[in-house]
Amino acid sequence: MAKHNELGKVGEQIAVNFLLKKGYKILERNYYFKKIEVDIIAQKNNTLAVIEVKTRSTAYYGNPQDFVKPAQIKRIVTAIDYYTQENNIDLEIQFDIIAILKTKNNHVIKHLENAFYHF
């Protein structure tokens, strides 16, 4: 597995652990609709949280959250529209980004709630 893929998987596990500690229930990890991947789908109270995880080893080229682009947001929204209809989910939907800067021995997490909106 390529180093960036390994870092991504480590970041997703860090994000899951972080969300569990914050009281979220993880419903899906790496959910696919067609060729669209949603990193984490979780629920807290009456909110369905759709979470994109971005992990980087350095902020030299920008913060991790800066790498979520409009085309990716559009694809995530499409996948969640399908997911909620298919599973008959009637909850508020919140689109979050969990940005992780991961070094060898440490990591910094930023949870950006309502990072983007469903149009």
User: For the chain, which domains are there?
Assistant: 3-116 (3.40.1350.10)
27-62: pLDDT as tens digits:
999 999 999 999 999 999 999 999 999 888 766 676
Residue 76, SS3 per DSSP: helix
Q: What is the mean pLDDT of residues 17-21?
A: 97
Copy the structure tokens of residue 68.
């979520």
pLDDT value at 16 more than 50: yes
Return the ∠ at Cα 89 (arms to 83 and 92), rounded to 5°: 100
Q: What is the mean pLDDT of residues 99-106?
A: 83
Checking 63-70 for CB contacts under 8 A at 24+ apart, the result is: 63/99, 63/110, 64/97, 64/99, 64/100, 64/101, 64/110, 65/97, 65/99, 65/110, 65/112, 65/115, 68/97, 68/115, 68/116
Q: What is the mean pLDDT of residues 79-94?
A: 94
The pairing of strands 92-102 and 47-56 is parallel
CA torsion sign for 31, 68, 52, 77 is negative
Copy the structure tokens of residue 116.
């983007």
Distance separating alpha carbons of residues 95 and 91, to the nearest angstrom? 13
What is the per-residue pLDDT for 119? 46
Distance separating alpha carbons of residues 53 and 100, to the nearest angstrom? 8
